[in-house]
Structure 1
Amino acid sequence: MALDAPASSAVLPPQRTSKRPSARGPKLIAAIVLLVVASAASLAIGARPISMETLVQALTAFDPANGDHAVVASRIPRTIVGLLAGAALGLAGAAMQGVARNPLADPGILGVNSGAALAVVLGIFVFGVTNFTGYIWFAFLGAAVAAVLVYAIASLGRDGATPVKLALAGAALSAGMVSLLNAVLVSSQQTFDTFRFWQVGSVAGRGWDVIVPVLPFLAFGFILTLLTGKVLNSLSLGDDIARGLGQNVTLARALTALGVVVLCGAATAAAGPIGFIGLVIPHMVRSFTGPDYRWILPFSMMLAPVLLLSADILGRVILPPGEVQVGILTAVIGAPVFIWLVRRRKMAEL
Structure 2
Amino acid sequence: MRSRSVAPPAPAPVSRLVLATVLAVVMLAVACALSVAVGSRSIPLGVVVDTLLHPGRDDEIGLIVLGNRVPRTVVGLLAGAALGVAGAVMQGITRNPLADPSILGVNAGAALAVVVGIAVFGISGTATYLPFAFAGAALAALLVYGIAAVARGGLTPVGLALSGAVTAAALSSVTTAVLVTNASLLDQLRFWQVGALAGKDLGTAGVVVAPVVVGLVIAVGLGRSLNTLALGDELAASLGQRVVLVRAVGAVVTVLLAGSAVAAAGPIAFVGLAVPHAVRRLSGPDHRWTILLSAVVAPALLLVADVIGRVVAYPGELQVGIVTALIGAPVFIALVRSRVVRGL
Q: TM-score, normalised by structure 1?
A: 0.94
Contact 1:201 1:328 in 2 (8 A): yes
- Corresponding residue of 1:136: 130
- Corresponding residue of 2:39: 46
- Distance between the aligned counterparts of 1:321 and 1:37, measured in 2? 23
Choose which of 272, 279, 289 in structure 2 pairs with 1:285.
279
Q: CA deviation at 1:10?
A: 6.9
- Corresponding residue of 2:254: 260
Contact 2:83 2:272 in 1 (8 A): yes
- Corresponding residue of 2:53: 60
Matches within 5 A, 1:120-131: 120-131=114-125
- Identity, % of aligned positions: 51
- How large is the Cα RMSD of the aligned pairs? 1.5
- Corresponding residue of 1:183: 177
Q: CA deviation at 1:205?
A: 0.3
- Distance between the aligned counterparts of 1:231 and 1:158, measured in 2? 29
Number of residue-to-residue matches in the alignment: 339
- Corresponding residue of 2:289: 295
Matched letter for residue 293 of structure 1: H
- Corresponding residue of 1:276: 270
Choose which of 146, 153, 169 in structure 1 pairs with 2:147.
153
Choose which of 15, 18, 21 in structure 2 pairs with 1:25.
18
Q: Which moved more, 1:150-159 or 1:195-204?
A: 150-159
Point out where structure 2 has 5 or more consecutive residues left out of the alignment.
none
Q: CA deviation at 1:97?
A: 0.6
Choose which of 308, 330, 339 in structure 1 pairs with 2:333.
339
| Structure 1 residues 244 and 215: alpha-carbon distance in aligned structure 2, compared to 1, 3 A threshold | same
Contact 1:54 1:69 in 2 (8 A): no
| Structure 1 residues 65 and 258: alpha-carbon distance in aligned structure 2, compared to 1, 3 A threshold | closer
Q: CA deviation at 1:195?
A: 2.1
> What per-residue deviation string (whole Å, max 9, x for no partner) do you get for residues 260-315 of structure 1?
10000000000000000001111111111111101100011100011100010011
- Corresponding residue of 1:119: 113
Contact 2:39 2:311 in 1 (8 A): yes
Matched letter for residue 223 of structure 2: G
- Corresponding residue of 1:247: 241
> What per-residue deviation string (whole Å, max 9, x for no partner) do you get for residues 128-171 of structure 1?
11222111110000000001110111111454211011001001
- Distance between the aligned counterparts of 2:315 and 2:221, measured in 1? 44
Contact 1:82 1:308 in 2 (8 A): yes
Q: CA deviation at 1:43?
A: 0.3
Contact 2:20 2:283 in 1 (8 A): no
Contact 1:200 1:272 in 2 (8 A): yes
Q: CA deviation at 1:348?
A: 2.1
Contact 2:84 2:271 in 1 (8 A): yes
Residue 70 of structure 2 is aligned to residue 76 of structure 1 = yes
- Distance between the aligned counterparts of 1:92 and 1:284, measured in 2? 15
Q: CA deviation at 1:26?
A: 2.8
| Structure 1 residues 205 and 97: alpha-carbon distance in aligned structure 2, compared to 1, 3 A threshold | same
Which secondary structure state, in structure 1, belongs to the residue aligned with residue 83 of structure 2? helix
Matches within 5 A, 1:314-333: 314-333=308-327
Q: CA deviation at 1:226?
A: 1.2
Choose which of 203, 211, 218 in structure 2 pairs with 1:224.
218
Contact 1:11 1:233 in 2 (8 A): no
Residue 88 of structure 2 is aligned to residue 86 of structure 1 = no
Q: Which moved more, 1:293-302 or 1:190-199?
A: 190-199
Q: CA deviation at 1:198?
A: 1.1
Which secondary structure state, in structure 2, belongs to the residue aligned with residue 228 of structure 1? helix
- Distance between the aligned counterparts of 2:25 and 2:174, measured in 1? 41
Point out where structure 1 has 5 or more consecutive residues left out of the alignment.
1-8
Contact 2:111 2:267 in 1 (8 A): yes
Which secondary structure state, in structure 1, belongs to the residue aligned with residue 155 of structure 2? coil
Matched letter for residue 250 of structure 1: V
Q: CA deviation at 1:23?
A: 2.7
Contact 1:31 1:299 in 2 (8 A): yes
Choose which of 164, 171, 174 in structure 1 pairs with 2:165.
171
Contact 2:105 2:141 in 1 (8 A): yes
Contact 1:90 1:277 in 2 (8 A): yes
- Distance between the aligned counterparts of 2:180 and 2:158, measured in 1? 33
Q: Which moved more, 1:151-160 or 1:108-117?
A: 151-160
Contact 1:102 1:163 in 2 (8 A): yes
